[in-house]
Each structure stands twice: as structure tokens, then as C-alpha cells.
Amino acid sequence: MSKVVIHGEGLGKRYHRGALQESTLLRDHLSRMLKSPLSVFRRPKDETFWALEDVSLEVREGEVLGLIGRNGAGKTTLLKILSRITKPTTGWAEIHGRVGTLLEVGTGFHSELTGRENTFLSGAILGMSKREIDRKFDEIVAFAEIEKFIDTPVKHYSSGMYVRLAFAVAAHLEPEILLVDEVLAVGDAAFQKKCLGKMSDVSRQGRTIVFVSHNMAALRRLCTRAIWLDGGQVVKTGDAGEVVDHYLQKNTECNLESAWADDLTAPGDGRVRLRSVRVIPQTDFGEPITVHTPLRIEFTYFNYVPEMMLNVSMLLNNLEEVCVFNTYSDFAPRPAGLIRHTVEIPGDFLNAGSYYVNMLIVKDASTGILFRDNVVAFEVVEGEVVGNWYGRVPGAVRPKLNWRSEAIDAGDLEVSTARGQST
Amino acid sequence: MASVTAHPPDDPGLAKVSPETIALPLPTAPATVRIEPPHGWLDLHLHEVWQYRELLYFFVWRDVKVRYKQTVIGIAWVVLQPLMTMGVFTLFFGRLARLPSDGLPYPVFYFAALVPWTYFSTALQSCTSVVVDNQRVITKVYFPRLVLPLSAVVSGLVDFAIGFVVLLVVTAIYGIHPTLAALWLPVLLLLALLTAFGVGLWMSSLNALYRDVRYVVPFLVQFWMFASPVAYPSSLVPQRWRWLYGLNPMAGVIDGFRWALTGHGVAPGPLMLASASAVMVVLIGGLFFFQRMEGTVADRV
């Protein structure tokens, strides 16, 4: 067993809700003091709440620990305590090793300074020594792909360039323990991919990572263990895949159904109005959608124009905002009234990950008359593991295709190799 | 699934060169950090500030760079500001009010006071707002917060150096040459720095608690200037109030600056020892107060 590098016992953090609302102006305090001098000796009535309560954890060297939970569950508070940004109210923790904290991209950047200057400044603030930055400077600039603009003030950068440089600096931080908040939530798909790639590089180097994310696929892929926090307390600790599954069962962040009760607020116009879009997993209630689960997606809308030629087109996008496929219903004249289209996505077809449905209603097989992005979303989780491969299966889809495997005799082999040489 | 078999883990050639062996050793860092709730007043962690001295350097470097980049006239501003004040003082306090000047030409008399005073007032004011100004960084990464007020008082030294060179030019123009007494200057400057730092620690902690403190400080600085011999010589102060006056460390610093550069006026006396001790009390108190505030500052700003 490798040694324990983070050990926390009974960590808690109490905030004064009253104090947060209370004025931060001296003026107000003085005037209160003048109005009722005795109030100085009274503690202001304040509600306290525990952002974190009695959390104990142990992280071993080389482990990647994921923190899961809804907003306000205490994940960031825990990260801030471990990185010493704020002190706990109760409990204690011991950290063995140099800690790097990434709570945002571009910590310490100053818009007036050039890319070169910011690289040094941000690097130093994140905990790199000047020598270290000197040594890695070229590498950082190359990673960010901004060689030409390195001596331009970053206020003239495009947001993409800014984020690339900021991340390049952070990525070259080499702490023994890395604490990362939802850094991946910013930037485009390519950038998120780069982040994920860098994180798995870091973990392969045997460094320890504590990682907060809402990206279940990333958590499942990168983390060895996970802690699920809710209301500041630990709900479950254990193997990352297991914790993620439990979390997903309880908290579908996916939005399996969108429905509009009255016509006035429903998307659409005088021709069609959307009523509902639903994802119906063909599985027992409450079971997570796995890669083996067949799905039905149902689109219901009201058609106001009799005999209008209508069809529904659906685009399935994944987390990287790549369109996995586009599929559409038949074209036909539709009667006035409620129309429902249903499409089936077979099991053993989609890969594990998050999916978002964009839809449009098309008139005359050519003109889109209703567009709706992210109308429903769902998460497909890993099914039962076959064999001993626990990594993520690459690919946008994971169809089960027909394979034929057989033993052949030597005569056949000679023919095929001969053919191979002749080309 | 192919990638599992592509890299058999027991291949000796592959196993040897792990990325870890290529990476250079990490700089020495405290092996273990213990995180605990804030307790008591007596825990200053000053050694940690020393470990983060490079960060201090970078904060100072940033302040100086940004300051000279943002103004169009850059360095000229640092020179013009005290020069113009000197002109105003010479005209109103000197020519019109005919205040005595210890036998010095008015421009020399005022400029010798304005250079250290400008440093002090700028340092104190930037020290006051430095914690709140850096709240983004404070809530995102850990470093000893004391580095921030330190950087505020240190980065002012660059402006001071420029002003000081101009001061030397001004005195030379009036045919005044510094004597050995100039050796006192670093001591006096250090006293001004520690005063700005000591008071600044209180002000920046208070400003983190109450955001309007930063509007109070300019008034404080203005009163302080009239309580210091910037616009008039300290010989105007009645003898029986001298001891009280002498407790103001900036009075000693400014008198000292004039004396060290020109040989005229009041030499540093035993009163300066008293005011230096007062500064130490304010400074040490400020360190504890700041440290007290530091633990919760990320929750407040």
C-alpha cells in the first residue's frame, strides 16, 4: 500500500449566514453603535450553517479522488480547506507533499501584462519557482500555441487564446498533490478534452489528484475512488464507478422529460407548438441507463395547420458537442391536432457518456419551423464489465456488430499473405 | 481493448523510463502541512513568508509594471507629482505665508520632505486596499497573505528611488552637497517603511472587514501630513509639545531627511528612539491582527 498523503479527520466549516448579509461598511456599524450603544456587547443574531460537517478522508499517493455532489454540497469548501485557502471550523487535516490548487483558469492573470509576463506571474502565484518557469517557458508557450502573441498584452487576446495560455501555465505545475475544481466547465469541447488528457497524464505520473466535477464520464474515467457529498456530509465513499452509479440513481442531473402545459408558453408558433419530449429507458424504474439499455424518445406537438407536411428531426450530441448522429421521421401530411413521433435507440449502440437531444420540426421536408436545443438530456453509464478492461472504450458510439471468429487451415493463410505481398 | 496488450507491463524496456524519473526533483517544500481551525493569537508563521519570498518579488514586479504601463506618461508622473506639490508649497506656504524653512531654499526644504512623505502616504494607501484588491487571487490559491501588504510597501520603493534621484538633482542645483550624515538615510527610510507597514497592516485588515475604511484613510493621511513637518519646520512646534510631536515617527523621518541631506534642521535625537519603539508596538500588534483576519479573509472578501 502506498503511503497516505492527505489525511483529514472530522473536518467541518461553519459559515454565519447572518454575517454574510450583514453590512460590510464601518459606517453602518458605527451608526448602529450610536443608536443603541449596548448592541456592541450583544452578538448579532446570526444563523449559522455548516457548509461541511464531520468529513474524514484519506487519500493515498497516486490516487485520483473524485468529489461528487450537487451545487452547495460542500465539494469546493472541502477543496478550499485542503488547499489552505480557508481554515476549517472543526477537525484537522495533514497534507504530505507540495500542493497545487486549480480552482479557476487564469489565477493571477493581469490584463495589462503580456502573455510572457502573465506566464511568470500566474506560475509564481500557483506555486512555481522562477527557475521552474524559466525552464518550462518554451514548453508552456508551445502548448498554448500562442508563440506569435507572447509579447502582446493579454487584454488583446481572444478568449480562446487567453484560456489556452492560462491552462498551459496551470498544466505545467508539477505538484505532488493537485487539487482541481470544475476547471473543465470552461472552454470549448477541444479544450475540455485537452484538460482531461492532461489530468490523466498527471495521474499516470503517480501524482495524487483530488478532483471536483459534474462530468460523470470524466470522474468515472479518471478517478480511482470517489466521495459523494451532500449537504456538507459524506453520503458514500468508495470505488469511483460505484459511487457515481449511486449518485446518478439518486440525482439524475439528466433531464429525461420536458413538457409544456399550456400553449402560450410552449415553444412554437401559429403552425405548431411543442407539448413534450421524453426519454423512456426500457428498463426497470430507477435503474440507471447503461450502454445495454434500449431507449425510446417521444416527441409530441400540436399541429394547427391541417395536412401540413411535417416530420421531426433529432440530433444526438455528446458532451464534447459532437453530433453522434442525426435521425428523422417519415415525411407525410399530418392532420390538425396532437402528433406524436417515437424513435427507438437500441441497446448496445451508444457509448457511455452524457447525451443531449437537439430537435427540429421540419415542414415540407426542407424548412425547419421549430428548433429546440438540449430539449432532453440523459447519461449512459458503463454496463457490466466484460473481461478485464476497465478503461473507457473509445468512440462516439459502441455498436454491437456481428463478428465472425474461426480457426482456419494453413492453405487459406498462404493465399492471403501472398495477396498481401503482391500489393 | 487492444491497448492493454500493446504495452505489456512487465516489458523491462518500457518499465524503466517512467515520466517520474525524467521529471526534475521538486523544490524543497515543507514535507507536512497541518490544517487546523484558527486558534489563539500567537502563531505568526513568519518563516512561511520567507519561503514565499519569490512570490513577494513577483507581486512587487507586477505592481511596478502595471503602474508604469497604465499611465501614459509613466515614470514622468512619479517625478511630476511631488515637483508640482513642491511648487504649490513653495508658493503658498513659502512666498505667501512666509513660513520659516530652517535657512534652506524653499524648493529644497519642501522637496526633501515630500519625497519620503509621498512614499509613506502611497505605501500606506496601497497597503490598505491590497487585500481587497487581490480578493480574486486570495479566494483561489493559498499563500501567506502577509506577502500582499509587504509587496505594497516594497513596490513603493521604486517610485521613491526615482523621486530621490530628482531630489539629489534639486539639492545639487542649489549647491547643497550631502555629507556623511546621508548614511542616516537608509535608517530613516526603513523607519518610514515600517511605519507604513505597521499602520497599513491594521488598515488593510480593517478594510477587509469594513469596505469603507479605504475612504477614511486619505483623511487620516492628510491629518498625518499636517501633524508632520512637511509644510513647515518642526521648530514651529512649541517646546512643551515637542515630546508628543516626536512620538510621530514621520516627524522624525522628515526632519531626519532634511538634516541628512543638507545638514540643516533637527538631527535624529532620542525622541526618534521613542517613536521607533511606538512603531514596533503598532507593527507587532498589526501582525497579530492581520494574522487573525487572515484565517477568515477568504470567506469575507
DSSP H or E run through A269: none
ipTM of the complex: 0.80
B13-50 residue pLDDT tens: 333 333 333 333 334 444 678 888 776 655 677 888 88
Closest alpha carbon to A108 in B11, B141, B20: B141
Could you tell me which chain A residue has the CA closest to the CA of B133? A108
3-state helix, strand, coil in chain A (%, to 5): 30, 35, 35
- Cβ A205–B23 below 8 Å, yes or no? yes
- Cβ B35–A125 below 8 Å, yes or no? no
> Which chain B positions have a beta carbon within 8 Å of A391's beta carbon?
3-4
CB neighbour class for A302 (10 Å; exposed up to 12, middle 13-18, buried from 19): middle
pLDDT band at B68 (very low <50, low <70, confident <90, very high): confident
* B105 within 8 A of B263, measured Cβ to Cβ: no
- Cβ A29–B34 below 8 Å, yes or no? no
* CA A245/CA A222 separation, integer angstroms: 15
Q: Is the pLDDT of residue A78 over 80?
A: yes
Does any CB of chain B come closer than 8 Å to the CB of residue A92? yes
Q: Is the pLDDT of residue B75 over 80?
A: no
* CA distance to partner chain A, nearest, from residue B153 (Å): 19
* Total-model pTM: 0.70
A123-168 residue pLDDT tens: 999 888 899 999 999 999 988 888 889 999 998 998 888 888 888 8
Task: Tell me which of A28-37, A155-164, A344-353, B275-284 is least confident.
Answer: A28-37
Could you tell me which chain A residue has the CA closest to the CA of B5? A389
* A346 within 8 A of A293, measured Cβ to Cβ: no
Q: Where are the domains of chain B?
A: 44-290
* CA B163/CA B165 separation, integer angstroms: 5
> What pLDDT is stored for residue B283 in this prediction?
94
Does any CB of chain A come closer than 8 Å to the CB of residue B5? no
Query: What share of chain A has pLDDT > 90, as a percent?
Result: 32
Does any CB of chain A come closer than 8 Å to the CB of residue B236? no
Report, as an integer, the average pLDDT of A215-232.
83
Query: What share of chain B has pLDDT > 90, as a percent?
Result: 34
B247-256 residue pLDDT tens: 899 999 999 9
* Overall CATH class of domain A4-249: alpha beta
> What pLDDT is stored for residue A414 in this prediction?
59
- Cβ A101–B209 below 8 Å, yes or no? no
Does any CB of chain B come closer than 8 Å to the CB of residue A136? no
- Cβ A95–B32 below 8 Å, yes or no? yes
| Grid cell of A326 as nine digits | 442525426
Q: Which amino acid is at B211?
A: R
* B137 within 8 A of A101, measured Cβ to Cβ: no
Of A93, A130, A393, the CB nearest to B54: A130
* A184 within 8 A of A192, measured Cβ to Cβ: yes
SS3 category, B27: coil
A17-59 residue pLDDT tens: 554 445 567 777 777 667 666 655 555 555 678 889 899 999 9
Report, as an integer, the average pLDDT of A228-249.
85
> Which chain A positions have a beta carbon within 8 Å of B204's beta carbon?
none
The CATH code of domain A257-380 reads 2.70.50.60
pLDDT band at B8 (very low <50, low <70, confident <90, very high): very low
Does any CB of chain B come closer than 8 Å to the CB of residue A61? no
> What pLDDT is stored for residue A416 in this prediction?
53
- Cβ A125–B55 below 8 Å, yes or no? yes
Q: Where are the domains of chain A?
A: 4-249, 257-380
Of B32, B209, B211, the CB nearest to A96: B32
